[in-house]
Structure formats: C-alpha cells, structure tokens
Structure 1
Amino acid sequence: MRLGDISVAYVELMARAVEESGARPQAVLAQYQLDDVKLASPDARISIPRFMRMGHACIEAFSIPWLGLDMGRLTSPPAMGLAGLLAQSAADIRSACRALTEYELLSSFNARGRSQFLLEKGRGVAQFYSISPYNEYNLFVVDSVLSGWNRFMQLLSGRHDLLARVEFEFSAPVYRERYSDIFQCEVHFGAERNAVVLHDWALDLPVQQRCASTYSALKQLADRELERVRLGLTFRELTERAIGPLLNGQTPTLEQVAQRLNMAPWTVRRRLTDEGCSFQQVLNDTRRDLAVSYVRDTSLTLGEIAYVLGFGSATAFQRAFKRWTGEAPGRFRERSGRAYISTASSTSSS
C-alpha cells in the first residue's frame, strides 16, 4: 500500500509560489522529472513522499519556509480540480465546503486519512487529517491546505471575514507572523486538529458565481468519476484504505474498520474471504507495506514510524520490519536513500 499521491496541479501551484517569490523552480522540477507536458496532463499524479521532498527542496533552495502559505494564497477553483469547479458553482458556502471534502479523492489520496466537513454548534468546520509528527518536510502541506481553503472561501463569497478561527496541530513556526497576513481571524497553534472554523452565519452565504444547472452537470460528472475510482479498487484495497488512518498510535480492530466502511464486521470478513484473504492478513500486509514506504520515502524516525503504525515500541517495530524484509530498517533506509540520490542526480543531469 502506498502512502498516497496527489494531482500535479498542486505541483504547478508550488511552482507558481516559487515564481512569486522571485525565484525560478525549473531546476527543482527537472530533478523530479516534471516538465510542462506532465504538468498539463489531467491524470498525472505525484506520490506524497516526492511531493513533500519537492516542497522541502524549494524551501531550502529559495529560503521560503512559508512556501505552503504562499501556495494557499494562490489557490483558485481550477487548481483544486473538479471538486473546486463544483464548489465554485454551488448555491452556498455550506454546499461548497461539502463539495471540496466529499470529492477530495478525485485529486488526492493519503493513507493517513481524508478531509471532512462537519457542523459544531452551528459552525462549519473544514478539517484536514493529521499527518503528525511534523517536520521540515510536511509542515508546508498543512499550511497550503488551510490557507488554500481560506483563500477559496474568500473567492467564493467575496468576503474576508468568514472564519472564526484556524487551528494547527503543530507548534508556531519561526515565520508565525506570516499567518496574520493570510488569516484575518484567531490562529491557534498546538491544537488538537488542523481545521478552519467558519462563523455560523457564513454557511448560508451565497456563492457569487453560483449556477444551479452547471452545479448539477458538474456533480453528475464528479459522481461518475468518484464511482470510477472506487470501482477500480478491490474490496481488499478498500479495506486497506480504511485501515491506514486508524493505525495512528493503535492497532485497529475489525469492528473499527467495518465502521469506517459502513458495514457489519461479518460482511467485511465474508467479502475478504471471497477474495481469498483474511482481515488479519490484510492488516499485517498493510502495516508491512506502509512500514516500507515510511522507512524508504520519509524522514520520520523509527520511533515515530513505530507509533504511526500502532507498534508498542521502536524495538517491536524493528523486529517486525526485519521479519518482513530480512533487513534492519536503518540499513534499508540507508540503502534506499543512496539509490534515491543516485536516481535524482542522473535525472537532473540528463
């Protein structure tokens, strides 16, 4: 199971943010084998780890640690794909928020979870899933999502006062003063979630470019595309995707996974049996595949990976990893890292 992937539209947004800073991103794009042809492809995607590495490379090369905030400031409906265009034609802000989160899968998938829109005491909450622990490779991702949602609401409503507050899981970064330039509301760091909270009165505000007929046509198209994506997955793959977000610090049970799939536990067990596997086998294989991806493709420490995958200790994780791969995770990472650097170097010189 992969950690996830994302539309190249977000790479284009990253490149624009770099250009806005006065720098040229072409060398970094070339290093990751991305050119104008690939950026213009409607189906092209980049893996989440490569996207985070690219963001970190831009931050380091051009000294813009607030890159994610700049990406959010440049966000527009087309940059958010079909979900963004659907939201742009929605009747009101509530419907627009639902469109953005319900059709997120059309432009990105992350094994850690998915965004959601919910109501709390009358207020609307657009919540981005946790990708903790945070480091120099993934901080910009949360910045770009929440600031992008903020910009999107401004464009749709024509107003800058829809948000009551913004919440970030991580501690305030060194560029914390930049947040006041982006968000005209309270900004809370060290919160329990990543979210933008809208005033209760904001939900019924009309979308300036709303169009009922266009919304209906785009929704039909989005529903077909979403069904096409889901039909392309086996039930085992659907189960893996349900397991991924539940692995955060715990080992999920069949009952928990069944709840995420909106099914009875016995139904999940029967459908997996029909495909020749068991729940325990899928759980073990998912942990193994994610473990390999985390060790190979991220900068997380072994202790952090152990926690993310629900192991009781780093030692238990290391034993399991060696059993799975025949190699200690530290050695595996060192060897994979050399291979990655060699590939990137040959790409950039070609």
Structure 2
Amino acid sequence: MKLGDISVGMVELMGRAVSALGHDPQPLFGQYQLDDLKLRSPDARISIPRFMRLGHACIERFAIPWLGLEMGRQSSPGIHGLAGLVAQTAPDIRSACKAVTEFELLSSFNARGQSQFAIEQGEGVAHFYSISPYNAYNLFVVDSVLGGWVQMLRWLSGRDDLVKRLEFEFKAPHYLEHYDHYFSCELRFAAERNAVVLHDWALDLPSRHRCASTHQGLKQLAERELERVRLGLSFREVIERAIGPLLKGQTPTLDMIAHRLNMAPWTVRRRLNAEGISFQQVMNDTRRDLAVSYVRDTTLTLGEIAYLLGFGSTAAFQRAFKRWTGQAPGRFREEARLPK
C-alpha cells in the first residue's frame, strides 16, 4: 500500500503560485521530470511524498514558506477536477461543500484519510484529515487545502465573510504574519483538527454559478466515476484503505474495520477468505508497505513512524521492520538515498 497520490493539477497550481510570487518554477519542475506534456495529462498523478518534496524544494529555492497560502489564493474549481465542477454548479454552499469532499477520491488518495463535510451545531465544517507530525515538508499542504476551500467559497458566493474560523493542527508557524494577507476570519493554531468552519447562515446561500441541469449531469458523471474507482479495487484493497486512517497510535481490530465499512465482522472475514487472505495478513502487509514508504520517502523520525503505524514503541517497530526487509530502518533509509 502506497502513501497516496494526487492529480498533477496540484503541481500546476503550485507553479501558478510560484509564478504569482515572482519566480520561475519551470527549471525546478524539470528536475522532477514534470514537463508540459505530463501536466496536461488528465490521468497523471504524482505521489504524495514527491509532491511534498517538490513543494519543499520550491519553498527553499525561492524563500517562500507561505507557498501554500498563495496556492490557496490561486486555486479555482477546475483544480479540484470533476469534484470542483460539480461544486461550481451546485445550487448552494452546502451542496458545493459536500461535492468537494464526497468526490475527492477522483483526484487524490491519501492513506492517512479523506476529507469530510459535516454540520456541527448548525455550522458547516469542512474537515481536512490529519497529516501530523508537521514539519517543513507538509505545512504548505494544509495551508493550500484550507486556503483552496476558502477561495472556492469566495468564488461561489462573491463574498469574503462566509468563513467563521480556520483551524490548524500545527502551532503558529514562523511566517504567521502572512496569514492576515490571505484570510479575514479567526485563526486557531495548535487546534485538534484542520478545518474550515462556516457561519450557519452561509450554508443556504445560493451559488453565483449554479445551473441545475449541468449540476445534475456532472454529479451523475462523478458518481459513475467514483463507483468505477471503487469497483476497480479488490476487497483486500478496500480493507487496506480502511486500515490506513485508523493506524495512528493504535492497531485497528477486525471489529473496528467492519464498523468503518458498515459491515458485519464475519462478512469482512468471509470476503477476505474468498480472496485467499486473512485479516491479519492484510494488517501485516499494510503496515509493512506503509513502513517502507515512510522510511524511504519521508523525513519522519523512526519514533513518529512507529506511532503512525500503531506500534507501542520505536524498538518494536525497528524489530518488525528488520523482520520485513532484512535491514534496520536507519540503514534502509541511508541506502535508499544513495545516488543510483
């Protein structure tokens, strides 16, 4: 199981933001083999670790730690792919927010989770899943996602007052002063979640770009595409994707996974048996594959990786990793980074 991937549309957005900040991203993109042909491909994806390294490289090269904030400002419905177009033509703000999160899988997948939209005490909350622990490589991701949602709301409503509050899991960063240039609402750092909280009165506001017939057509297309994606997964892959978001700090049980999938535990077991594999095998293989990706493709410490994979201690993770790969994780990381 890989950490995830994302549409190259987000790379195009990154380039747009870098250019808006007065720099030329093309030489750097070339180093990552991201040419115009690939950026025009409707099905092209970039892995999550590679996307984060590219963003960090832009931040370092051009000294723009607030890159994600500018990405949010430069965002548009088309960047979100089919989900964005469904949202753009939706009748109201509530429906638009639901569309962006409901069809997110059509343009991105992350083993850590999926965005959600919910009503809490009358207020709309667009919730971006946790990607902690935070470091120089991933702060811009949260900035760009929340900023993009805010920009979407501006686009749909023609107003800048729909958002009541923005919540960020990470502590206020060193570029804190830049947030005031991009947002006009309350900001909460070191919060329990990453979220855009809308005023209760904002949910029923009509969209300026609503079109009932086009919306229904696009929504039906998105639903068919989402079903096609899901039907293309084996049941083992379905279980892997359910395990990933639940691993943080714990080892998910069969009952937990069954509950997440709204299935009976015996149904999960039976369907896995039909594919010739057990739940425990899927759990072990998922942890192993994610462990290799985390060690090879990220800068997370071994302790952080151990926590994200549900191990009780770093030592327990190191023993498991050596059993899986024949190497200690530190040595594996060193060799993976040697010039090929």
Say whether the fold is shared (TM-score over 0.5): yes
**Deviation (angstroms), 1:183:** 1.5
Aligned to 1:48: 48
Other structure's SS at 2:331 match: helix
**Deviation (angstroms), 1:74:** 0.4
Aligned to 1:316: 316
Aligned length: 340
Deviations for 1:7-41, whole angstroms, at most 9, x for unmatched residues? Answer: 00000000111111111111211111110010000
Other structure's SS at 1:338 match: coil
Other structure's SS at 1:177 match: helix
Aligned to 1:58: 58
Structural RMSD (CA):
0.6
Query: Which blocks of at least 5 consecutive residues in structure 2 are unaligned?
Result: none
Other structure's SS at 2:100 match: helix
Matches within 5 A, 1:62-73: 62-73=62-73
**4+ runs deviating over 6 angstroms:** none
**Deviation (angstroms), 1:264:** 1.0
Deviations for 1:256-304, whole angstroms, at most 9, x for unmatched residues? Answer: 1111111111111110000000111100100000000000000000000
**Deviation (angstroms), 1:85:** 0.5
**Deviation (angstroms), 1:323:** 0.2
Mapped to 2, the partners of 1:21 and 1:109 lie a distance apart of 28
Query: Which blocks of at least 5 consecutive residues in structure 1 are unaligned?
Result: 343-350
Other structure's SS at 2:338 match: helix
Mapped to 1, the partners of 2:260 and 2:14 lie a distance apart of 33
Mapped to 1, the partners of 2:92 and 2:263 lie a distance apart of 32
Deviations for 1:21-68, whole angstroms, at most 9, x for unmatched residues? Answer: 111111211111110010000000000000000000000000000000
Which amino acid letter does the alignment assign opposite residue 12 of structure 2? E
Aligned to 2:259: 259
Matches within 5 A, 1:232-247: 232-247=232-247
Deviations for 1:104-159, whole angstroms, at most 9, x for unmatched residues? Answer: 00000000000000010000000000000000011100000001100100000110
Which amino acid letter does the alignment assign opposite residue 205 of structure 2? L
Mapped to 2, the partners of 1:337 and 1:113 lie a distance apart of 27
Other structure's SS at 2:6 match: strand
Aligned to 2:282: 282
Aligned to 2:118: 118
Other structure's SS at 2:81 match: helix
Aligned to 1:79: 79
**Deviation (angstroms), 1:331:** 0.4
Matches within 5 A, 1:110-259: 110-259=110-259
Aligned to 2:335: 335
Aligned to 2:5: 5
TM-score, structure 2 length as denominator?
0.99
Deviations for 1:222-267, whole angstroms, at most 9, x for unmatched residues? Answer: 0111011111110000000000000011101111111111111111
| Sequence identity (%) | 74
TM-score, structure 1 length as denominator?
0.96
**Deviation (angstroms), 1:182:** 1.4
Mapped to 2, the partners of 1:21 and 1:91 lie a distance apart of 34
Which amino acid letter does the alignment assign opposite residue 144 of structure 1? S
Which amino acid letter does the alignment assign opposite residue 224 of structure 2? R
Mapped to 1, the partners of 2:181 and 2:203 lie a distance apart of 23
Other structure's SS at 1:190 match: coil
Mapped to 1, the partners of 2:19 and 2:325 lie a distance apart of 42
Aligned to 1:345: none
Aligned to 1:348: none
